[in-house]
Each structure stands twice: as C-alpha cells, then as structure tokens.
Structure 1
Amino acid sequence: MKSIYRTTPESKETIEALWKLAKVILDTLDFKDVVTKIVESLLSELNYLKLGYRIIVLVLKDEDDNVLKRVSLSKTSEAEKLLEATTIPFPKMDVPLTALDNLIVKAFNDQKPYYTNNWPDILTPPFSKEESFSYQKLVEVKTSMVYPVIVKGRALGVLIFSLVKTIDDVSQEEKDLIGGFTDIVGLAVQNAQLYTALEDSSKKLENLNKKLRELDIQKDEFVSMAAHELRSPMTAIKGYLSMVLEGDMGDIPDKARGFLADANAINERLIRLVNNMLNVSRIEEGRLVYQLEKINLTRIARTVFDTFRAEADRKGLQISIEIPEKISDEIYVDPDKINEVIANLVSNAVKYTDHGFVKIILSNPLPDWVRVEVADSGPGISKEEQKRLFRKFYRIESTSGKTIGTGLGLYICKLLIEKFNGTIGLDSGDGTGSTFWFELPLARAKERLPESS
C-alpha cells in the first residue's frame, strides 16, 4: 500500500519549489530572520507537513567554542512538545566536534547526508541514549535526515529533518529538493553572516568614532582651559621681564641681559602659542568676533612687509613686494585677521629660508578676485607633506632637522581665509622653494550678490 506521505518525482516542480524557497530565504540579510525562514519555509511555503515533515533544525558551527550549535527550530506542535520535555534549553544543545559518532558531526565532517531512525545518533551528546529515545517516542518521529550545509567546499553546519515516516517513504524528488534547499541555505547563511559581521564592524566603528569625537571635544576643552590659565601668568612675566630689560630695576650686567632677552623671547613664543590655541578654539566653536570692514589689501601687505624687512635683512635675505599699479584690492574682511594671515606666511618664509629671497606678490587672477602670494627660495615642501600641511598641529622639519613651530599657524590661516569665502594653498616641491597663496573675493563682488539673487 502506498504511503500517504510519499511523493512522485517531478523535476519541474522541484525546480519551481527551489526557486520559491530561494526567493523567501534570500529576501533578507538579517541573520535572525534568515535562520528562522530556513526552518519554516519548507513547511510553510511547500507544505511539507503534509509529507510527514515535523521538526526542522538548523545547526551551525560556533568557531569560538568549536561546537555545532543549534540556532533555529521549526514552530510545529511536535517541536513545542519536545522543547517542553527536554532537560537542556534549545540554545544550549551543543554537539562537540569531538563527538565523532554523532551523525550531526559526521555529516558536517564528511560533507554528505546521513539518515537514521534512532535519535541517540543525533541527540547523544548532549542527551543520554535513554533521554533521546524517550524524546523520539514522545514526538513519534520515525526518521531523521541530516544534510550538510556547504558553501564553496566549506561546511557551515547541518540541517536536520525529522519525519513521521520511514526513509523508504522519502522519494528521490524530496531528497533532490532537500539537497538543493541546503545549497540555498548555505548561501543565505554565508550572506547573513557576512552582513552581520559588517554591521557589527560598522557599529564598533561608529562607537569608536563617537568616542574619538568625545575625546576631541575634551581635548579642545582642555587646551582652551589650559591656554586661559597660562595667558595671565605669562603676560605678567612679559611685563616683569620688560621692566628689568628697560632698566626699571636698575643696571644689569650684559651677560644677565642676554639671558633675560632669551627668556623674554621664549616667553613671547609661549604667548603666541597660547593665543593661537585660544584662536583655534574660538574659530572652531564660532566664538571669535570679527570686525568686518572694507580695506585695501595693499596697505595690509605693505605693513607686513615693513614688519619683517629687518628680520630678513639680518638673515641676509632679499625681501621684496610686488604690487601692480592698477590692482583692484578692496576687500570686505577683518583687517587684523588678514594681517595675521599674511604675517604668518611671511614669517614662515623668512624662518625656513636660509639664503636667497622672500617675495610678497599681489595680483588679480580674475576680475572679482585678489590674490596674495608669499614666495621663497627655501628648501621646498614634498608632495606628501603638502597633503597634511594645513592640518591642526602638523609641523614640518627645518633644514637643520628640527621641528619648528606649533603646527597651528597655517591651520588658523586656512580657517580665517575660508571664513572670508576665500581659498588658500601652496605650490612647492623638494628643493624648488615654496609659494603660499590665498585668494579672496573683492568687495564689489560681494555687493553684487543681493542683486543677482
């Protein structure tokens, strides 16, 4: 007599069924959804309950513990009855890979299916043989089929199909479909694991970035606080040193005067550092107050030129300024801040150039723009260093191999020029000198904006 649970081979129907299962399982990348659909889809989509399939279990290898771990179970009345009876919770029904007699381990290692009508073959360990037989009798399972889940020649785990019919009643059509089904499962599990790993990495990276941002804020707060605390005593030191050097405290020996002058110069440098740190903090937080007005850039450039002429002469450098007679240079900026930018560029040029020249050049590259260039015949800057030069706290070595400055000057220049809607950059190379430049829109261009908007 033919079993009520038996099918007849229908290859076309098998292909269609597999296609249907693939669409259901591969529709999501969430690992929990995937493993749930794997054990449910065969029963719900193809109604294999009618063919005697009662319990489907997905087992995957746990790389950390070197065990095969049951991760999902079909939601049938038999499965619920089994879970109520077992003495070990489902997530902890692990099978050690050292249990070589267990068919789950055999199917995983040999990468081929195994069939059994005795549950101790798949439940021992973790359960005893007596317990395994009692659970099998409870749910009236006659046969269990264990199929490996394989991707690219590597076993990921196994699928266990427990049926209320004998293996003789399982048609070749069913075996073909289950074989194809496990291939789909392999792809789905691999994709979900990769996606989950990527999500986990993204979350970890996001958390790390959050911590870095918090640390950056804390660092900025500390720098700002430290700068405030340092400025008052250093200003007082500057005053006392000036009084001593100017003779307010009486005559001092020449040798002592030299030491005091050095101390005063160092203190001045520290004050500049503190002011730079405070400026950076204020600019980044939007707290810096700008006194915007129309100015002629030529006047600022000449003032800076006169300031550094004596220092350049002391180093034997030829310093010059080139301004076309009919240049358009009226801009709308904070004059003190633009003075600071040009002074910083000229100071660097004089500092890093041992011989040759320093030039300040003004021009109109476009009708509504003015350009300032500070060119020198110094050692030049490599392309690699140029990429990092305008970053906060980045410093380059001088020709003597020493690192000079605070690494804040050019960063502040960049922030200020961009605040005034300009651009800043440099042209340089090893041994070719450097030309730092910035361009700003003319005041007349800004005045035309409301008319064109």
Structure 2
Amino acid sequence: MAIIIGIVSLLPNFITGVEIKNQVSNVKTGDLYNLFLVYFVAAIVISMVIIIFSFKRSSKKDRPRVVFLISGILIMTVLASITNLILPLITGNNYYAKFGSLFTLFFVALTAYAIIKHSLFDIRAVVVRSFAYIFSIMTIAIVYAFIAFGVLGRFIFSSGNVQVPLQQQFANTILAVALAFSFQPIRRFFERVSNRIFYRDRYDAQAVIDDIGRAMASEIKINLLCNKVASEIMNKLNISAADIVVLQKNELIYFTKNIKAKLNENEIKDIYELGNRTIYIDDTNSSSKIKLMRSLNISLSVPLRTKNSFLGYLILTEKQSGSTYNSQDIKTIKIISNELSVALENAKAFMEIQNFNETLQDRINKATKSLQKANAQLKELDEAKDEFISMASHQLRTPLTTVKGYVSMLDEGDFGKLTNEQKQSVDLALDGSNRMARLIDDLLNVSRMEAGKFYIEPTKVDLIKLVQEELNLLQTMAKSKKVSLSAKLHINKLHALNLDENKTRQVVMNLIDNAIHYSEPPKGGGRVEVSLAEKESEVIFKVIDNGIGVPKDQQSKLFTKMFRARNAKEIRPDGTGLGLFLVKRVVEDQGGRLIFESKPGKGSVFGFAMPIHNKIKIDNTAKRNLNKGSSK
C-alpha cells in the first residue's frame, strides 16, 4: 500500500501546487491527496490495534514497555494530526504544519526511556550492527576513492582531460566489483571488533547451561552442590558474586557466603520476603524489595522452587563488566535456577535419608551396646550355671554310685533271695539309678565341652554287642511304659569300628530312651524298633518309634543345647534338652552323620550312619561354640 501511495504522490492531481502568501507556504492538494489521508488514518488505527492486542497478550514484565510505546505513538499522532490535518482544514493554510515534526520527539523520548529503563530492545545489538556496517562502508568508500581517484586517476591514467579515460572507467568497474565481494569479509571483521568492544561479557548460553548442569550432576551433598554451582555461575557469567540461600520453613539450611560472610536472623527473614518472582534491581514495581536488595548488595534475585516446594534463592551482585543484566542473562539464569531447584530437592532428599540413616545407626549402636551388655551378663550367668552343673554332677556322682552298687547287690541276691514283688521294686530302683547316672554323665560331658576338654578316645568296638546290651538294660523301663521294644540286627558279624565306647553307648542309650519316653501308647500300644544294618561302606543305626513326633517349625533347633520341643515338654517335663545335643556332638566328632525324620503325631526316626573306616577328630583342644550348637 505504501508503494501505491508513493506512486500516486507523483501524479499531478496529488499536489497541484504551492502558494506563498505572507511568507507562508501553502500546499495546494488535489483529489488524490484524500487517498493519502485515508491511508494515513488507517495506518495509525491499524498500528494502534496491533499494539493494543500485543499489550493484552504481553506478560506483566513486558507491559510497561508497551505502555510507553503506545503513549509515545498516541501523543505524537494526536498532536501531529491537530497541526498537520485539523488546523489546515479549518484555517485553509499550512502554517502550523511546520510544528508537526516536533511532536515526534515525544515518541522518540518515550521509546528511548522504554529501551533504557525496561529493555524494550537490545540496544547494544543495534549499536554493534550499525558500527559494523558503517565502518565497513566507510572502509570500502575510502579504499575505492583512494585507488580510483588517487592511484589510478593521478598516476596511472592521468591525461589532464576532464573526461575519464575508458581504461580508467574499466579499472574502476573492476575495483568496484572486487570491493563489493570484499564487503562481507570486511563486515565480519568489524563485527568481531565491535563484539569485543560491546560484548566483552558475551557467552554461549547453551554451553554455560550444559557446563553448570554437569556440575550439578556431579554433586549430591547440599554444601558441595551450592558452592560448585555458585562458583560456576560467577565464572561462566562474569558475575562479581553469587550466593545460593537454601531455606526450609523460614530456617536457613545452607548459605554459600560469597556476597556476605554471614546472614543474621533478620536478614534471613528479609531475604524470605523477596517473594516468588524474579526481581531485578532496575525493576521499579517493587520499591521496598529493591531497597532491601540494595541494602544487601543484590542486583538480581531468582527464587528456587519446584512444583511442590519452595527451596530458597539464587542471589547475584553486579556483573564484573559493570553492564546491566540483559534479557539473555536473565533467561539463562532462570533456566539454571530451574535445574538447580531440582538438584537441590534431590540433595535435600539425600540429606534427609542420610540424617535418617545416622539416627538409625545411632539407635542401632545403642541397641547393640545394650545387647552386648545383656549378652555379657548372659555369658556370666551361663558360666555360673555350667560351674554349678559341673560341681553338682561331681557331688552327686559319688553317692549315686554307692546307691547304685547296693541296689545292684540287692537285685543279684547278695542279701538274700527276693520275692517277685521285691524284685520288681528293686528293678525299678536300679533303672532309676541308671537314668540318674546317665543324666550325670550328660551334665559332666557338657561341662567338659565348655572347658574344651571333651575328648574322643577311640577303641575297637563291637557295635552289635553294644546295642544288644543297651536294649537289655532298657527292657525293664519299656515294659513299665507299656512300650514294645524290639530289634532288627541284620548283621551277623560286623568288623569292629574305631569308636569311643562309653560315648557311643551313651548315644545309643539316649536315642532308645527318648523313643520309649515319647511313644505314647495308642490303641495298638507304644512301639519302638531298633535296627542295625550295613549299607555300602556305612553302618546305619536307627531307632524308629510311633510316638508324638517333632513339630516342623522346631525341627531345625532339635539338636541344639537345652532345646526341647513344645510337645516333648508336655509328655516329659523333667527332661534336660542335653541328650540330642550330645548325640550330635559325639556322632560328628567320630566322623559319622545324623539320621532324623519325623512326622508330627505319627512318630520319628533317629539314628546315625558311621563309616566303617571312620576318621576320628583329633583336634580336642579347640573350644566349640556350644551356645549355637553344631554348625555342621
């Protein structure tokens, strides 16, 4: 449209003439001039509509800039319309039109204020570009003039004629073409020079963001993270000082101490009052906050927050170059602050986990000390108990041996023949004495284990004979319990084994004795079956009963010291929990292995498998950890 108006303005009917009257020039317009007036008004209206719509869509930060721009255009348009349009139509002369151009000063002044105060445009970019183009053109013009008129015209093609020789014209043309091609390199040279002058603190924003992002990723502790990021921001953005203030519910968690060495409580509260938006020292919308920032020597304050929490502030002083923060600086710093907020939230979560771990570790240490103290006390009690058992066993053994000897003499008729009723009573007394003797032997063996003096003393043992003798001794007790005790010895002859006869006898007796006691007589009666068989290179001894069995949840503890299953305590409250513990120790120390199977309510199988060529343990000095039982 402007091109059309420009063409129309050349036609005779646009401006018909100029009349000078009383030293005042009056322009006489034609009919086509009305088209220009319509264009002028339409351009003003459309421009204002566009600016108003831009104002509505603009951010809170951009609106002051647009307001100054609209104000400048309105003042200029209204006043210029009065002097250049309305008054000429009313008075019929253009005397006041000469004042119209002066009103553009309002537009220029308000636009300049918006540029300087509110960064309407990056004026440095305009200056730099203008500097580059002006000096490029000046350079080309000077070079062309010097060569064309100085060198070529004066020295080479000098003829004294006013008319330029054809050869010089041709040379000038070649020179002009050469200089035209050199324009871009010259322009780039002056751009580099102008950038060094006007953009001394220029940086690659993406590279800065990437570098600081890598610094954030390399640290998880709040203090190291904050110090490293603050240092990177100062170095990469050429800022005099930068601090990161980490807050939590008005309390200071960490402060990097680059701007100030220390923040007191009032200053912490003041910083917290900076709010949730970015504030620049030249922002006139928050005068009280600007005053606060000046008192703290802060030029830019950026809040650190995520979607769910407020974390603190990134506060910056002036730039080292003394220049103001431009739009690129603030945009870059906002991106960095967003990444820093996420990094700080992760660091705070790590700190909370670390604090929880430290608290938990402290509690664990205290609990461990309590357990160690309790364990030491239990060990003392256990030692006292073992000492008592050892002493009591030794004290009981001598009188029990005497009692057992006299009862044996009675049973054998040394004091006269006994009646059947007397014989039965003496047998019961002898059986009780034997059981008491076995209990004392168990207690003494445990005492020896505690002292590290439990020895295996191997000799050649006839296992068939040993088992048969124990069966004979236990028959009386089996009858008294109404339990059928039978044996299946599938070996007619067995090579003598290297065993500790007394301890092996104790193992056999303990297994058969337990089977008798825990075989409750059902309708068909209690039943215990003892078997001895040879399989491959092992001799296998088993005691099978139809008794109460062992609960599954307690089977793993059955061979540990002093342990008794729940149902066993109900059947035999006077048990000690030492028998099976000793069985395990004796069998394994002689190179054998335990046999155990059980179904609760249906019975159990106890026994051992002993290699024919068994290897006896000879390291008898090592003290075993009996509190845990055997770990094999």
Q: TM-score range by the shorter chain?
A: 0.5 to 0.7
Counterpart among 527, 531, 549 of residue 357 in structure 1: 527
Q: 1:375 & 1:391 partners in 2: Cα distance?
A: 21
2:370 pairs with 1:217: no
Q: Which residue of 2 aligns with 1:386?
A: 555
Q: Is the 8 A contact 1:394 1:407 kept in 2?
A: yes
Q: Which residue of 2 aligns with 1:310?
A: 476
Change (3 A) 1:283 1:5: farther
Q: Which residue of 1 aligns with 2:316?
A: 163
Tell me by how many angstroms 1:220 deviates. 2.5
2:183 pairs with 1:21: no
Q: Is the 8 A contact 2:304 2:340 kept in 1?
A: no
After superposition, give the CA deviation of every residue in 1:24-67 in whole Å (9 maximum; x if it has no partner).
33xxxxxxxx233222221345655843553334446xxxxxx7
The residue type equivalent to 1:175 in the other structure is K
Tell me by how many angstroms 1:378 deviates. 0.8
Please say which structure displays the higher CA radius of gyration.
Answer: 2
Tell me by how many angstroms 1:21 deviates. 2.0
Q: Is the 8 A contact 2:538 2:610 kept in 1?
A: yes
After superposition, give the CA deviation of every residue in 1:206-239 in whole Å (9 maximum; x if it has no partner).
5466445434433321221222343355446647
Tell me by how many angstroms 1:267 deviates. 9.5
2:337 pairs with 1:178: yes
Tell me by how many angstroms 1:429 deviates. 1.0
Counterpart among 147, 155, 164 of residue 304 in structure 2: 147
Q: Which residue of 2 aligns with 1:421?
A: 591
**Secondary structure of 1:387 counterpart:** helix
After superposition, give the CA deviation of every residue in 1:319-342 in whole Å (9 maximum; x if it has no partner).
122232267665434222222222
**Secondary structure of 2:262 counterpart:** helix
Q: Is the 8 A contact 1:426 1:435 kept in 2?
A: yes
Q: 2:396 & 2:571 partners in 1: Cα distance?
A: 29
Q: 1:103 & 1:338 partners in 2: Cα distance?
A: 85
Q: 1:357 & 1:228 partners in 2: Cα distance?
A: 35
Q: Structure 1 unaligned runs (5+)?
A: 26-33, 61-66, 96-100, 119-132, 248-260, 448-453
**Secondary structure of 2:600 counterpart:** coil
Change (3 A) 1:10 1:221: same
After superposition, give the CA deviation of every residue in 1:80-114 in whole Å (9 maximum; x if it has no partner).
x327xx599xxxx9x9xxxxx8876x99xxxx956
Tell me by how many angstroms 1:351 deviates. 0.5
Q: Which residue of 2 aligns with 1:323?
A: 489
Q: 1:144 & 1:5 partners in 2: Cα distance?
A: 23
Q: 1:215 & 1:343 partners in 2: Cα distance?
A: 35
**Secondary structure of 2:541 counterpart:** strand
Tell me by how many angstroms 1:401 deviates. 5.7
Change (3 A) 1:310 1:270: closer
Q: Is the 8 A contact 1:220 1:281 kept in 2?
A: no
Q: 1:409 & 1:37 partners in 2: Cα distance?
A: 64
Q: Is the 8 A contact 1:389 1:395 kept in 2?
A: yes
Give the structure with the larger helix fraction: 2
For CA contacts below 8 A with separation 6 or more, give which structure has more relative contact order.
1
After superposition, give the CA deviation of every residue in 1:384-417 in whole Å (9 maximum; x if it has no partner).
2213322332212249566451222222322333
Q: Which residue of 2 aligns with 1:51?
A: 239
The residue type equivalent to 2:392 in the other structure is L
Change (3 A) 1:163 1:311: same
The residue type equivalent to 2:333 in the other structure is E
Q: 2:430 & 2:616 partners in 1: Cα distance?
A: 44
Q: Which residue of 1 aligns with 2:127?
A: none
The residue type equivalent to 1:54 in the other structure is A
Q: 2:448 & 2:294 partners in 1: Cα distance?
A: 74
**Secondary structure of 1:357 counterpart:** strand
The residue type equivalent to 2:227 in the other structure is E
Q: Which residue of 2 aligns with 1:98?
A: none
The residue type equivalent to 1:290 in the other structure is I
Tell me by how many angstroms 1:163 deviates. 2.4
Mapping of residues 40-439 of structure 1, within 5 Å: 40-44=227-231, 50-59=238-247, 70-74=252-256, 76=257, 78=259, 81-82=261-262, 137=295, 140-148=297-305, 158-165=311-318, 171-191=330-350, 193-194=352-353, 197-198=356-357, 200=361, 203=365, 207=369, 210-211=372-373, 213-235=375-397, 238=400, 276-277=442-443, 279-283=445-449, 286-325=452-491, 330-354=496-520, 355-365=525-535, 367-396=536-565, 397-398=567-568, 403-439=573-609
Q: 1:324 & 1:359 partners in 2: Cα distance?
A: 13
Change (3 A) 1:235 1:15: same
Q: 1:116 & 1:271 partners in 2: Cα distance?
A: 95
Give the structure with the larger strand fraction: 1
TM-score after normalising by structure 2:
0.49
After superposition, give the CA deviation of every residue in 1:359-400 in whole Å (9 maximum; x if it has no partner).
2222344x3333221110112222122133223322122495
Counterpart among 609, 612, 615 of residue 442 in structure 1: 612
Q: 2:476 & 2:587 partners in 1: Cα distance?
A: 27
Q: 2:452 & 2:200 partners in 1: Cα distance?
A: 76
Q: 1:278 & 1:44 partners in 2: Cα distance?
A: 76
Q: Is the 8 A contact 1:327 1:364 kept in 2?
A: no
Q: 1:263 & 1:325 partners in 2: Cα distance?
A: 34
The residue type equivalent to 1:231 in the other structure is S
After superposition, give the CA deviation of every residue in 1:278-327 in whole Å (9 maximum; x if it has no partner).
53354356332332334343333233222212211222222122232267
* Larger deviation, residues 426-435 vs 170-179: 170-179
Q: 1:136 & 1:292 partners in 2: Cα distance?
A: 96
**Secondary structure of 1:360 counterpart:** strand
Change (3 A) 1:371 1:15: farther
Tell me by how many angstroms 1:346 deviates. 1.2
Tell me by how many angstroms 1:343 deviates. 1.7
Q: 2:280 & 2:437 partners in 1: Cα distance?
A: 87
Tell me by how many angstroms 1:358 deviates. 1.0
Q: Is the 8 A contact 1:234 1:267 kept in 2?
A: no
The residue type equivalent to 1:38 in the other structure is L
Change (3 A) 1:115 1:309: farther
| Identical pairs, percent | 18
After superposition, give the CA deviation of every residue in 1:418-450 in whole Å (9 maximum; x if it has no partner).
333333242111222100122233326779xxx
Q: Is the 8 A contact 1:58 1:158 kept in 2?
A: yes
Q: Is the 8 A contact 1:238 1:268 kept in 2?
A: no
**Secondary structure of 2:559 counterpart:** coil
Q: 1:58 & 1:327 partners in 2: Cα distance?
A: 89
Q: 2:342 & 2:246 partners in 1: Cα distance?
A: 13
Q: Is the 8 A contact 1:5 1:165 kept in 2?
A: no
Q: Which residue of 2 aligns with 1:126?
A: none
TM-score after normalising by structure 1:
0.66
Change (3 A) 1:7 1:338: farther
Tell me by how many angstroms 1:344 deviates. 1.5
